[in-house]
Structure 1
Amino acid sequence: MRYALLVLAAVPALAAAPAHAVDARFYASLKRLDPATRLEQVCDVEAMKQITRDDNPYRPDRAKSYVVSPPRHIGDTVKGTGGAFRSGGKWYTYSFTCKGSPDHFKVLSFTYKIGQPIPEKKWASYGLWR
């Protein structure tokens, strides 16, 4: 779990540093994770990329695949209905299917559906923050 926190701490740097430097640091930290956690981490980053890119008002700065309920791993695919992302200081649920490469370092396909806002009074019970 501490390695997962290390990788999550590096995610905000994705926007601030040159792409080649971020990729090297991010992928170096991924090597220290077990394959299942690594896949969740690359899927979290993919969720932020796709939600930001798509036509909607959200610009996530954090995403977690295991907030409301843990995702299911099926080989190189992870599916979840209990993910959450933060945008504009608020948290929202999302469901997703993420297929990774066999080494779990890349996302091959990703689909998602944005759900409801998570009431602030529930944030602490889900391990969320402002």
Structure 2
Amino acid sequence: MKITTVVLIAALFPVAPCLAMDARFAASLKKLDPQTRLEQVCDLEAMSRIDRDANPYHPDRAKTDVLSHPQHAGDTVTGKGGAFRSKGRWYSFSFACKGSPDHMTVLSFSYRIGELIPESKWAALGLWR
């Protein structure tokens, strides 16, 4: 299911400036199980926050489950194994994301950017150019 949901974001949001949720994306989210749905809205929020915060990164992709699986507790998901792609390079990040009860909206989000992920590790981690 993870591969399908990543493709979902890639298909509906091919470029970072298009980060607002549209009706097609919302309808697709509603078809997902609640945990996957929360991870997807948190992926989108990660791209949005990292893009607009004061740093040199402008993500076009983000995944919360690259280096390790995130932990779910009710409407909150946390993880130390996320990754985002900016200017053709992947970077690790940790995060905490609290969603609405229906997991359609992010209520709070915090993150910390980690290290550059070497290209030699991309294939093993399911990352791409």
| Common topology (TM > 0.5) | yes
Match of 1:12 in 2: 14
Match of 2:49 in 1: 50
Gaps of 5+ in 2: none
Q: CA deviation at 1:12?
A: 1.6
Q: CA deviation at 1:29?
A: 0.8
- 8 Å CA contact retained: 1:76, 1:99: yes
- 8 Å CA contact retained: 2:16, 2:60: no
Return the alpha-carbon distance in structure 2 between the equivalents of residues 13 and 56 of structure 1. 18
Match of 2:77 in 1: 78
Return the alpha-carbon distance in structure 2 between the equivalents of residues 116 and 107 of structure 1. 25
* Structure 1 stretch displaced more, 29-38 or 6-15: 6-15
- 8 Å CA contact retained: 1:7, 1:41: no
- 8 Å CA contact retained: 1:11, 1:45: no
Return the alpha-carbon distance in structure 2 between the equivalents of residues 15 and 84 of structure 1. 19
Q: CA deviation at 1:121?
A: 0.1
Return the alpha-carbon distance in structure 1 between the equivalents of residues 7 and 65 of structure 2. 16
Match of 1:90 in 2: 89
Q: CA deviation at 1:15?
A: 3.4
AA partner of residue 117 (structure 1):
L
- 8 Å CA contact retained: 2:16, 2:48: no
Return the alpha-carbon distance in structure 2 between the equivalents of residues 87 and 103 of structure 1. 30
CA-atom RMSD in angstroms? 1.7
Return the alpha-carbon distance in structure 2 between the equivalents of residues 91 and 35 of structure 1. 27
* Structure 1 stretch displaced more, 3-12 or 56-65: 3-12
Q: Note the alpha carbon deviations across 1:71-130, whole angstroms, 9 max, x for none.
A: 000000000000000000000000000000000000000000000000000000000000
Return the alpha-carbon distance in structure 2 between the equivalents of residues 117 and 29 of structure 1. 31
**How many residues matched?**
127
Return the alpha-carbon distance in structure 1 between the equivalents of residues 16 and 117 of structure 2. 25
- 8 Å CA contact retained: 2:67, 2:125: yes
Q: CA deviation at 1:5?
A: 3.6
Return the alpha-carbon distance in structure 1 between the equivalents of residues 15 and 110 of structure 2. 24
Match of 2:26 in 1: 27
AA partner of residue 51 (structure 1):
I
